[in-house]
Amino acid sequence: MLLRTLKVPLLLTIVALIGTLIFGGFQTMIIVAILAILEISLSFDNAVVNAKILGRMTEYWQKIFLTVGIAIAVFGMRLVFPLAVVSLAGSINPFKVLDLALTRPDEYARILTSAHPAIAAFGGIFLLMIFLDWLFEEREIRWLRFIEEPLAKIGELNYLSVILSLLALGVSALTFAHDHANQILISGIFGLIAYLAVNSLSDHFDEDSTALKAGKAGFFTFIYLELLDASFSFDGVIGAFAISNQILVIALGLGIGALYIRSLTVYLVRKGTLSDYVYLEHGAHYAIGALAILLFASITHEIPEVITGLIGVGFILTSFIHSKINNDRQRIQNTATSS
């Protein structure tokens, strides 16, 4: 089933690699492959969280996520978004930005990298809110009980996640980056508003079972998923310029990786993997929390993408192993009880 789900990404990968080999040479082909692997490693935890959310969406909105959502993820976030950032950061006409990206890629990369503090603040606070809201909620299944049980108790305090997120934002702005303090605070607050608005509207309409309200719930949940994907993509888009300064090569490599993440999300939903491996969701959320902290830290400290990717994969792999151990233990107990 996994190979069937990944059939389209695999086919497109082969076509893309052959195309880049013919028109760009062997080195370009290798760069595209590296960028795709980078995107998959950085966003694998995103697939797990997306699967949890996608599982409660209607079939119609699941199809929208896989069609329109992929177009937004590949072309919007990996191609249009960097151009828009450079246009805003440098106060440059969008058409001139495109010309800059194609003819003066070093200057284009410099302007985009200079906007990293604001981008990291927006994505960092968005991801941190996801992690904290999850960490403070009551739930039956717990993985790291010594952390989750006491925090679930204090999580009953109103607006605790918001307070802690704003505190992290303030520390980042005042301690790590004095030169960008206002820029970081404004972007971070916009990230917080975006999370609260989309999450609240989705929850509100999700409570109503009428077709109109259910459609609105699906729409806002779809927007939430796209913002989540964007937050995961920020560090990959910026970090990709350490590998290549060619915008089309970057968009192609990261776009291929995004296709795999979307397909893995579908596989997890259809296979019921989150139900079978109960700690996977926990591992993904801890990875999100770690990524949020790394985004804040990356405002003034260079953090290699390999570290970010390994931390995320490490949480996912550990939670998967613990889930399997838990399943084996329950299977042994059920066998002993029945006998």
In this predicted structure, what is the pLDDT of residue 179? Answer: 64
In this predicted structure, what is the pLDDT of residue 211? Answer: 47
Q: What Å distances lie between residue 292 and 132, 178, 193, 276, 320, CA to CA?
A: 11, 20, 16, 27, 22
In this predicted structure, what is the pLDDT of residue 201? Answer: 67
In this predicted structure, what is the pLDDT of residue 212? Answer: 45
Question: Which residues contact residue 164 at a Cβ distance below 8 angstroms, ignoring those fewer than 6 apart?
Answer: 128, 132
Kindly write down the DSSP assignment for every residue of 110-145, as one continuous string: HHHHHTHHHHHHHHHHHHHHHHHHHHTS--S--SSH
**Residue 8 half-sphere exposure, CB side, CA atoms within 13 Å?**
14
Query: pLDDT in tens for each of the 339 residues of the chain?
Result: 667 777 778 888 889 889 888 888 888 888 888 888 878 777 777 788 778 788 777 778 878 887 888 788 778 877 888 888 788 777 788 888 888 888 888 888 888 888 888 888 888 888 898 888 888 887 778 887 888 888 877 766 768 888 888 888 888 777 765 667 788 888 889 888 888 887 776 665 555 545 444 567 778 788 888 887 777 776 677 777 777 778 888 888 888 888 888 888 878 887 777 778 888 888 888 988 888 888 888 887 777 777 777 888 888 889 889 988 888 888 877 776 766
Measured CA to CA, the distance from residue 205 to residue 198 in angstroms comes to 11
In this predicted structure, what is the pLDDT of residue 67? Answer: 80
Domain that holds residue 260: 2-338
In this predicted structure, what is the pLDDT of residue 205? Answer: 53
Number of structural domains (the chain) is 1
304 CB-contact burial (10 Å; exposed 0-12 / middle 13-18 / buried 19+): exposed
In this predicted structure, what is the pLDDT of residue 287? Answer: 86
Task: Read off the pTM.
Answer: 0.78
In this predicted structure, what is the pLDDT of residue 295? Answer: 84
